[in-house]
Amino acid sequence: MTRTSTDPPAARASGALVPVLAFVGIVVPVMQTLLIPVLKDLPHLLGTKPDNATWPP
């Protein structure tokens, strides 16, 4: 006996796509702003010269 579903699998999976993309869209900028206060300490933390640990313009 074969079961048939009235909801296609793609329709159910796409319902989670928008919340996941919204979450990622918030987390990525927050993670990037967390790096800004650490920039002055990067050479010491990485054990390198300040010229090697600068943020690219």
Could you list the residue range(s) of the whole structural domain that residue 30 is in? 16-52
3 belongs to a structural domain: no
Whether 8 maps to a domain, the answer reads no
φ, ψ of residue 8 to 5 degrees: the values are: -70, 145
| In-domain check, residue 7 | no
- By the 8 A CB rule, do 43 and 52 touch? yes
pLDDT tens per residue, range 4-33: 666 565 555 668 899 999 999 999 999 888
Place of tokens 């579903």: 5
Q: How much is the pTM? A: 0.47
> Is residue 26, in this structure, part of any structural domain at all?
yes
* In a domain? residue 1: no
C-alpha span between 22 and 9 (Å, rounded) = 22
**49 or 57, greater pLDDT:** 49
Q: Is residue 57 part of a domain?
A: no
